[in-house]
Structure 1
Amino acid sequence: MSEQLEDPVYDLMVDEETGDLRPKVDKILEEIFNNFDKDKDGKWNLKEIQEFATATNGRPFEDSVIEEIVESFEVDEENALLYSGFYQMYYMQTLSEPAETLKDFKKHGYDENLDLVSSRTEKS
């Protein structure tokens, strides 16, 4: 029996039957990714990755973290992080540390029910 079974945050984010992230989590990840994809090219360059890191963690990623991201997740030929790579990153984190994912989501304006309560996006 998995210890995850008793974790309400895990249950909120992951469909236990399929092991997939729930649709609400998919939507949040897409919104966060699009918010930091400033040039709207469908991938994050280093500047966009670091802007996300600063907004989420209060500081940019160390070089070693950037190297790990490039080696572990889907990037293009210029090492820009693709949405699929960003999704992979959060999928792995959410399965092992759902509370950490929730903490990250809260930094981007979502509450403990995964509802957007405040937005960091500038309306044009």
Structure 2
Amino acid sequence: MASLLDEDGGISESLERVLKQIFGKYCTPKPELPLSGDIPPNAYLEPSKLDAWASDTNGEPFSQETKDEILQFMDVTDEGNLTFKGFLQVYQLQTENDEEETWRDLSKHGFDRSLTLIRQE
């Protein structure tokens, strides 16, 4: 099983690689090669894409309260769109508090416990 956090408690390199692939499915602007893990440096999740990611991950969009918390405490653009740095912050907090929830999220996006993509959406 792959490690989600490194020895310092930060996002592991392998988890960051997977999160780039997931973020790349929803971000604006779109990556040139969607599954490459190469996302544009100015990429962000606009509100409809944040909802799409939440729905694909959790079965429903976030509540307005959850969205407000994300946009208040995580890294966002000047327009209030979640950046990749903010996306990593969401997963950092979640993984610290409930690693199994992160594994469930990754599974919903087609990754196994070795962080290998086993099915594409």
Task: Tell me the TM-score normalised to structure 2 length.
Answer: 0.84
Runs of 4+ with >2 A deviation: 38-41
CA distance, structure 1, for counterparts of residue 70 and residue 6 of structure 2: 25
Instruction: Render the CA deviation track for 1:48-74: whole Å, top value 9, x for unaligned.
Output: 100000100111111111101111101
Letter in 1 for 2:3: L
Letter in 2 for 1:108: H
1:28 — aligned with what? 18
Aligned residues: 110
Give 1 or 2 for the bigger CA radius of gyration: 1
CA distance, structure 2, for counterparts of residue 92 and residue 61 of structure 1: 16
What's the C-alpha RMSD, in Å, of the aligned pairs? 1.5
2:77 — aligned with what? 76
1:119 — aligned with what? 120
Percent identity between the two aligned chains: 30
Does structure 1 retain, via aligned residues, the 8 Å contact 2:4–2:95?
Answer: yes
Unaligned 5+ segments in structure 1 are 1-8
Higher alpha-carbon deviation: 92-101 or 32-41: 32-41
2:35 — aligned with what? none
